[in-house]
């Protein structure tokens, strides 16, 4: 079948007919190719069409070419055919889900830069919701975080430009800009009666993937802000630093709050730090190469230290993979609030030398077969963020040690209260309580688990 003669100059009506002709030819071409197989063709009355590609909707294809023709001939401004067709591709992808999109050369470069940990902008992970830009999470130590942008904020205006009607890529381009320049974000926030205007000064974003500190002797804190290529090795170095300070780790807090995700393999590497082998995550999709399984390497880096993982609604994608795997294997207690629920896999499919599409091709599943998509990971212990103030003890409080002639303690610890013996730890705990009640609860649970295990070991001893 021939639609046009080669070597002829194409007019606009010819281009439109060519588009339709190509779509009409495709089903016949695919069917003819299948008939080259040695398997006998089914009888004419057979209804099994499992190997036959679905027919394209011809009426809708004619409608597409009609719209294309009307725009070219009647739209108030002249638009070249290349732009119209690229817009059609963008429209097809935007109607699928919030994560499928068209990538021009600039967008593709931005995607590569974001996974290496250094890029220019505000420092927020964003998505689309009801036509507005939704903040998945502000990234630690960035202008957005310092300005007070929060997970769940809906951005409705960028400076004076309404976001409604923009694509996500268009909105991201407006948020990027020279270092030192500012932008006013108009946001809607749950609990606020009026939109908020927040000025953010752009800067070069250098994401520090892993941070750590000692909460109390034997209890460590590990913060993973984003999953990058080197997050797994960086986390192992952080644990080495903790064990150097306190060789016997009693417990660890892994903080994944407001972590928007990142590189899939990095999530497997992080889970491997705490697991002694076993399945971490698997994916299922329509195409053959979307059926994948990822397993942890043997060897628990922490030697089985008690583990609490903190989540919230800003924890997405790779964060949910790690939390789901540790929860299914019974390796950690998950605390906080429900995670974001981004459980889909995006694949970059090249279209040309400098263009590609990011297409959702599969869904993530935890080792026990739970889908993360639009549901997220539910914590074992729900702890809402709150401001807590410890009550002061009454002045003039008297204890047994204050009474005249009291008997000394036979353990040799006379006149030493728990507060005097461990004043530094108490100061740290009080500071955490005032600043971060979720982290304080995580530390409390770790200490409780350590005490319970120690008591259990005493009872088991002969």
CA dist 147 → 49, 139, 184, 193, 458 (Å) = 58, 12, 11, 20, 51
Burial class (CB in 10 A: 0-12, 13-18, 19+), 115: middle
Domain 210-382: CATH architecture, name and number where available = Alpha-Beta Complex (3.90)
Task: Tell me what the pLDDT averaged over the chain comes to.
Answer: 83
What pLDDT, on the 0 to 100 scale, is given for residue 309? Answer: 98
pLDDT in tens, 234-284: 999 999 999 999 888 999 999 999 999 988 999 999 999 999 999 999 999
Domain extent listing, the chain:
10-28+56-79, 121-205, 210-382
SS3 69: helix
What pLDDT, on the 0 to 100 scale, is given for residue 367? Answer: 98
> Is 10's pLDDT higher than 80?
no
- Is 317 in the active site? yes
Which carries the bigger pLDDT value, residue 360 or residue 435?
A: 360
Which one of the listed residues 317, 319, 339, 429 is annotated catalytic?
Answer: 317
What pLDDT, on the 0 to 100 scale, is given for residue 370? Answer: 97
Identify whether the C-beta of residue 294 lies closer than 8 Å to the C-beta of residue 282.
yes
- Is 328 in the active site? yes
pLDDT-derived band at 32, boundaries 50, 70, 90 = very low
| Range scoring the smallest mean pLDDT among 4-13, 190-199, 260-269, 418-427 | 4-13
What pLDDT, on the 0 to 100 scale, is given for residue 458? Answer: 73
> Is 192's pLDDT higher than 70?
yes
pLDDT in tens, 316-374: 999 999 999 999 999 999 999 999 999 999 888 888 778 889 999 999 999 999 999 99
pLDDT in tens, 50-61: 456 678 899 999
Identify whether the C-beta of residue 197 lies closer than 8 Å to the C-beta of residue 159.
no
Which one of the listed residues 342, 429, 436, 447 is annotated catalytic?
Answer: 342
H or E element: which one contains 307?
strand 306-311
Q: At how many degrees (to 10) do helices 231-245 and 264-274 cross?
A: 30
Which carries the bigger pLDDT value, residue 125 or residue 192?
A: 192
- Token digits of residue 342: 């981004």
Query: Model pTM?
Result: 0.76
| Range scoring the smallest mean pLDDT among 192-201, 411-420, 438-447 | 411-420
Which one of the listed residues 100, 328, 344, 447 is annotated catalytic?
Answer: 328
Beta bridge mates, 308: 253, 333
The CATH label, of 2.170.150.20, 2.30.42.10, 3.40.1160.10, 2.60.120.380, for the domain at 121-205 is 2.30.42.10
**CA-based torsion, 114, 109, 148, 342: positive or negative:** negative
Question: β-pairing, 306-311 with 333-336?
Answer: parallel
Name the residue among 185, 178, 184, 201 with its Cα closest to residue 126: 185
Which carries the bigger pLDDT value, residue 34 or residue 401?
A: 401
Question: β-pairing, 124-129 with 118-121?
Answer: unpaired
pLDDT-derived band at 413, boundaries 50, 70, 90 = low
Per residue, the 3-state secondary structure of the chain, as one string, reads CCCCCCCCCCCHHHHHHHHHHHHHHHHHHHHHHHCCCCCCCCCCCCCCCCCCCCCCCHHHHHHHHHHHHHHHHHCCCCCCHHHHHHHHHHHHHHCCCCCCEEECHHHHHHHHHHCCCEEEECCEEEEEECCEEEEEEECCCCHHHHHCCCCCCEEEEECCEECCCCCHHHHHHHHCCCCCCEEEEEEECCCCCCCEEEEEECEEEECCCEEEEEEECCEEEEEECCECCCHHHHHHHHHHHHHHHCCCCCEEEEECCCCCCECHHHHHHHHHHHCCCCEEEEEEECCHHHCEEEECCCCCCCCCCEEEEEECCCCCCHHHHHHHHHHHCCCCEEEECCCCCCCEEEEEEEEECCEEEEEEEEEEECCCCCECCCCCCCCCEECCCCCCCCCCCCCCCCCHHHCCCCCCCCCCCCCCCHHHHCHHHHHHHHHHHHHCHHHHHHHHHHHHHHHHHHHHHHHHCC
pLDDT in tens, 169-185: 889 889 988 889 999 99
pLDDT-derived band at 49, boundaries 50, 70, 90 = very low
Radius of gyration of the chain (CA): 29
> Is 424's pLDDT higher than 70?
no
């Amino acid at each position: 079948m021939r639609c046009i003669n080669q070597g002829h100059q194409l007019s606009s009506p010819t281009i439109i007919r060519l588009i339709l002709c190509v779509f009409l030819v495709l089903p016949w071409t695919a069917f003819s190719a299948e008939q080259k197989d040695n398997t006998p063709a089914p009888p004419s009355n057979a209804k099994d069409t499992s190997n036959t590609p679905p027919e394209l909707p011809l009426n809708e294809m004619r409608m597409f070419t009609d719209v294309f023709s009307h725009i070219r001939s009647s739209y108030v401004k002249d638009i070249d055919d290349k732009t119209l067709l690229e817009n059609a591709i963008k429209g097809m992808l935007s109607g699928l889900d919030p994560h499928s999109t068209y990538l021009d050369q600039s967008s593709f470069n931005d995607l590569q830069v974001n996974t290496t940990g250094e890029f220019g902008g505000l420092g927020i992970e964003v998505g689309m919701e009801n036509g507005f830009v939704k903040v998945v999470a502000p990234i630690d130590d960035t202008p957005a975080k310092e300005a007070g942008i929060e997970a769940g904020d809906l951005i409705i205006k960028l400076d004076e430009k309404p976001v409604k009607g923009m694509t996500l890529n268009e909105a991201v381009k407006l948020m990027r800009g020279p270092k030192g320049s500012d932008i006013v974000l108009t946001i809607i926030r749950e609990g606020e009666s009026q939109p908020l205007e927040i000025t953010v000064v752009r800067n070069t974003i250098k994401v520090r993937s892993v941070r750590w500190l000692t909460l109390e002797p034997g209890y460590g804190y590990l913060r993973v802000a984003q999953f990058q290529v080197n997050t797994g090795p960086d986390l192992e170095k952080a644990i080495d630093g903790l064990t150097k300070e306190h060789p016997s780790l009693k417990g660890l807090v892994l903080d994944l709050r407001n972590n928007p995700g990142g590189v899939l393999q990095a999530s497997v590497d992080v889970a491997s730090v705490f697991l002694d082998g076993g399945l971490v995550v698997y994916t299922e999709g329509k195409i053959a190469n979307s059926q994948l399984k990822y397993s942890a390497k043997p060897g628990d880096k922490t030697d089985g230290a008690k583990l609490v993982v903190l989540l919230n609604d800003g924890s997405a994608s790779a964060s949910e993979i790690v939390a789901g795997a540790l929860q299914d294997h019974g390796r950690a207690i998950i605390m906080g609030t429900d995670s974001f629920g981004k459980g889909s896999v995006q694949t970059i499919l090249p279209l040309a030398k400098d263009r590609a599409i990011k297409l959702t091709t599969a869904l993530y599943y935890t080792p026990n077969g739970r889908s993360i998509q639009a549901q997220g990971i539910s914590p074992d212990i729900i702890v809402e963020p709150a401001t807590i103030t410890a009550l002061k003890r009454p002045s003039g409080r008297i204890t047994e040690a204050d009474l005249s002639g009291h008997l000394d303690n036979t353990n040799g610890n006379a006149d030493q209260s728990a507060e005097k013996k461990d004043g530094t730890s108490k100061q740290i705990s009080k500071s955490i309580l005032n600043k971060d009640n979720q982290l304080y609860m995580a530390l409390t649970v770790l200490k409780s688990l350590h005490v319970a295990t120690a008591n259990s070991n005493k009872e088991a001893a002969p």
